[in-house]
Structure 1
Amino acid sequence: MNGRALALVALALALAGCARVPARSAGTDAPTATAMDGSRDIVLAVDNPLEPPAIHAGSNLLGYTITGHYGAGRRASATLAALREQYGWHEVAGWPIRTLQLYCVVLRPPRGTTREAMLAALARDGRVQLAEPLHEFATYGEDDARPRHYNDPYAELQRGFVETDAALAHNTSQGGGTAVAVVDTGADPAHPDLRGRIRSTRDLVDGDANTFAGDRHGTEVAGIIAATGNNHLGIVGMAPDTVLDVYKACWYAAAGAPGARCNSFTLAKALAAIVETDARVVNLSLGGPADPLLARLLGQLLQQGRVVVTALPPGGRMGGFPDGVPGVLVVRVTSGAPAPPGVLSAPGHDILSTEPGGGYDFSSGSSMAAAHVSGIVALLLAIDPGLDAEAIHGLLLASSRPAAEGLQVDAARAVAGLRRLARTEVAGDRR
């Protein structure tokens, strides 16, 4: 445990007082995730090392650089061609993961071969780095100054915003200079309360960004985190000056469906893309079974200093993805029942947020609770970008306070605790 984490423990006591490139181009978002079969398809990965450029006769290394394009290299292409010839699978999609130097494919076993038999054979094949079922995932719907004043008409109806004293925290920080990656369904970039807050969007499901305008879950999560304040409209985000990168990795199986679906393919592409960005916070209001490939990617993001916030599964059982990955911040809906060890509690019942088409409505679930925590994390990082996930987790636990239904994170107390810690460190340096 580092010095800052030890200081936060003290503060807690005080406050308690992938290879043929498919015809559609594997390096793009073209393959349609909705056409994949989570009951049959397999994710397979092989080595795909970065390759230096060819050296031409009469030339030297000066002036030559490795190409910026990273697709299926010669080794990966040869390996996958041989594997495909041997096992006779059908390739659904393929994509490179530069940061892991892997090339992945989603494959479908040939007729007459079960997925279990194919996985067993691939597990024994030394050319294969990883082979796993194509997993499916789901979103989880269901005190030193006066608070900052907002002219947004629905601000007082925001249970989470009010109960966590976010307006008071905003006297110190509104999240400016931080970026939050939201991996979810799309989020409506034309919503009046989200204009200017979403700096980038990527569709990893079917490549049709037009579908963002109708994506409910991601729009709700985005509004809780970053809805614009003092614009005489709607609501205020927990971190209204932060910016969002929205990665559509989940989709609705049918119009009006209560929940959205994701899979290993779309989530891996989203996480690999985030590795190349400056987003410090990653919001994953979703979950499903343990997934080795996704765990490796998430582990890399954590090693880079990202703070990953996820939602506790509705049944409360942990150990899947992403809640089972060490180092992530797991958030449940505030409840009178004791929280599992280390799990944070935040408002998640009847939460007012943005809806597609410029509207607002109430929603519930640990997805909403996780979004509140992502916003608070952005507030803290705007004050001290050097904070790591361990320090933030300790601070949020230490600054949680009793609410009507039990202990709950508190934005104002977390910000005040961080400022107090900073003053203590400065005083120590002076001595």
Structure 2
Amino acid sequence: MIKFWAFWVFAVHVAISACYAADTGAASAERPGQGAPAQILVMLHLPAPHFRPDNSYSGRYTDDSGRSARRRIAEDLARVHGLTLVGDWPMAMLGVDCYVMAVPAPARASRESVAQIVDTLTKDARVEWVQEMGVFHAQQSSDPLYPVQPGGKAWHLAEIHSVSTGRNIRVAVIDSGIEDTHPDLQGQVQLKENFIDGNPYVPESHGTAVAGIIAARAGNGVGIAGVAPDAKLMALRACWENPGKTAECNSFTLGKALNFAILHNAQIINLSLSGPPDRLLQRLVDAALSRGIIVIGAVDPHVKGGGFPASYPGVVAVSDDAAKAATAQVLIAPGRDIPTTVPGAKWRFVSGPSYAAAHVSGMMALLLELHPGRTSHIREGIVLTAADGNDSGAALLSSIDVCATVANQAGKCLCLCSSAHALKVNHNP
């Protein structure tokens, strides 16, 4: 079955690679954060009684008599400092209202001017904190098409799916838009939300590709099988795509999506992206981790330490290349020559750390089905094998032995059972 699947996907690749064009969506040229650092985020304290969500709550205000007062404060701060108030959102998980303010054109040309505005606002007693808007990018290869793929063979998915398929595990994919009508993703998306102001939810290539690797339908006669085909996806669009460029996100859009994922009981959060350290996002990641949510981050090989969020304590950092892994704590997963779903009911081959992170999110869903709620136990039970050496000649204990890992959780042999030489390590950072 696996051989037939690999041949079928290769045939699909040959047939569509010449005619495939990435979906760029209908996004506006005035997306939040474009031209950074042209925007800043200003946090005002949110009293605890403010948060009274109903079942349909998606981060918007319900009945809040204090909202108008805080809005007036934000408008006053913007006026005094020559800023333009362009957006706001309640970050209930952190007890703050987040206001986006645009920096005037003369100040945009100087980082010193922006830093001075941030410093001045920070000293205002009405303000919780202020930060520049961070910009984040998807971690994918610029030339993702390859003639063959390692696929499910390396992870023995057919055998593993006999004991776990990630059934009903909730995985939040914070990314660009996902095509939930794709033949391999029909019924896999539990809910979808758009956190890019003023733009419709549109299916896009990066988010759809990540979703397919995690949870594409298995045994439906078309396409691929996801690592966790019975997981339920939250399609949270916080990134957008531009022609010829990687998907892009910012602090505000990602913050809204993280806040939503936590409030809606995600069990795994996939962040196949990287950017600068960000106070708002760090606080939200801390909130997620404190609730036992597993957060997966893709390593940026071009940034020392792997970039944020992969380098942040508690986040599961994933790379597709052991030689470029920042530390021995980075997990190595398949990220080269991976067939997956793309918009237009198509498939293509992709490469990059984004897709390695998606593999690990799927694996975590398999493990959570076997032991729901035991996230620390799951992370401690990951079995690693020696990967390639780094520049100093030391071996990186990072390549995942998925068969041994799942066998440990399931309590029985599943695949080759050849992990006698594997090293079981505590993966807690």
TM range (shorter): 0.7 to 0.9
Q: Which amino acid in the other structure matches residue 127 of structure 1?
A: R
The one of 79, 88, 110 equivalent to 2:82 is 88
Offset from partner CA, 1:257-305 (integer Å, 9 cap, x none): 2311100110011011112112100000001000001100111011111
Q: Secondary structure at the match of 2:119?
A: helix
The one of 87, 90, 103 equivalent to 2:97 is 103
TM-score, normalized by length of structure 1? 0.77
Runs (4+) off by over 6 Å: 403-406
Q: 2:162: which partner in 1?
A: 171
Distance 1:88 1:73 in 2: 22
The one of 235, 248, 265 equivalent to 2:237 is 248
Q: 2:295: which partner in 1?
A: 308
Instruction: After TM superposition, give the deviation of residue 339 of structure 1 in Å.
Output: 6.2
Offset from partner CA, 1:135-165 (integer Å, 9 cap, x none): 10000012xxxxxxxxxxxxxx752422112
Distance 1:109 1:334 in 2: 39
> How many residues of Structure 1 are paired with residues of Structure 2 in the alignment?
359
Report the structure number with the largest CA radius of gyration.
1
Distance 1:38 1:337 in 2: 28
User: Does the Cα contact within 8 Å between 1:182 and 1:222 map onto a contact in 2?
Assistant: yes
Q: Secondary structure at the match of 2:76?
A: helix
Distance 1:334 1:35, change over 3 A: closer
Q: 1:400: which partner in 2?
A: 384
Q: Does 1:192 align with 2:183?
A: yes
The one of 321, 331, 349 equivalent to 2:318 is 331
Distance 1:72 1:334, change over 3 A: farther
Distance 1:359 1:35 in 2: 31
User: Does the Cα contact within 8 Å between 2:140 and 2:353 map onto a contact in 1?
Assistant: yes
Distance 1:230 1:71, change over 3 A: farther
Distance 1:32 1:384, change over 3 A: farther
Q: Secondary structure at the match of 1:100?
A: coil
Offset from partner CA, 1:351-386 (integer Å, 9 cap, x none): 111111111111110001000000000000011112
The one of 282, 302, 318 equivalent to 2:269 is 282
Distance 1:391 1:337, change over 3 A: same
Distance 1:273 1:171 in 2: 33
| More displaced stretch, 328-337 vs 400-409 | 400-409
Instruction: After TM superposition, give the deviation of residue 127 of structure 1 in Å.
Output: 1.8
User: Does the Cα contact within 8 Å between 1:48 and 1:75 map onto a contact in 2?
Assistant: no
Q: Secondary structure at the match of 1:273?
A: helix
The one of 209, 212, 219 equivalent to 1:220 is 209
User: Does the Cα contact within 8 Å between 2:180 and 2:186 map onto a contact in 1?
Assistant: yes
User: Does the Cα contact within 8 Å between 1:291 and 1:320 map onto a contact in 2?
Assistant: no
Distance 1:166 1:47, change over 3 A: same
| More displaced stretch, 363-372 vs 336-345 | 336-345
TM-score, normalized by length of structure 2? 0.77
Q: 2:404: which partner in 1?
A: 413
Q: Does 1:235 align with 2:234?
A: no
Gaps of 5+ in 1: 1-29, 54-66, 143-156, 422-431
